[in-house]
Amino acid sequence: MRASCLLLPLFLILASTAVHARGVYQEPEAFLQDSFADGVPEPGMLWVTRSIRPTVENILGHKPNALRIRYWRKDARTVWILEEIGKEKPITTGIVVNNGRIERVKVLVFRESRGWEVRHAFFTDQFKDAAIDKEQQLNKSIDGISGATLSVRALRKLARLALYFDQHINSEP
């Protein structure tokens, strides 16, 4: 009896942590409004064509889930709302790229039971001012989080992908 009385509060604490980990931290529309103070521009569409598909697959480590990627651009600033699987479920992330460098990363929707720590600024702020090199690798180190390895990996991929997409659309005639 005594052991069950001690285990019940522990179970409730652990269960509430898992429930709070999942959720919508910011709606994508609100992220867009925050990213463009003068009003959200009309979205553009990037097609994942044969010419860029191998690089996209290399960055993701798998085939992309979509052939059309929506983005928003005003001057040298682009905003990407992208998704990648952490362990089992997609993590929706907003990424602002300005002049080829990451300005802001924000986890918008987190659906996993673990790894939710990637939503905090102590982690996402590491991406500020990151760019990619010729091999589409980030030019700065991003520290991991113990217990959130797959979520960290997903956000690194999305950051690289947003930078690559930004580079691609800005190099088009």
Tokens of 110: 């987190």
Q: Model's pTM, two decimal places?
A: 0.87
- The tokens 């040298």 sit on which residue? 76
Query: What is the number of alpha carbons within 13 Å of residue 154 lying toward its C-beta?
Result: 28
Helix (H, G, I), strand (E, B) or coil at 90: strand
Cα 93 → chain centroid = 3
Question: If you ran DSSP here, which 8-state letter would residue 138 be given?
Answer: B
Tens of pLDDT along the chain (173 residues)? 555 555 444 444 444 444 446 789 999 999 999 999 999 999 999 999 999 999 999 999 999 989 999 999 999 999 999 999 999 999 999 999 999 999 999 999 999 989 999 999 999 999 999 999 999 999 999 999 998 999 999 999 999 999 999 999 998 76
- The tokens 């979509």 sit on which residue? 66
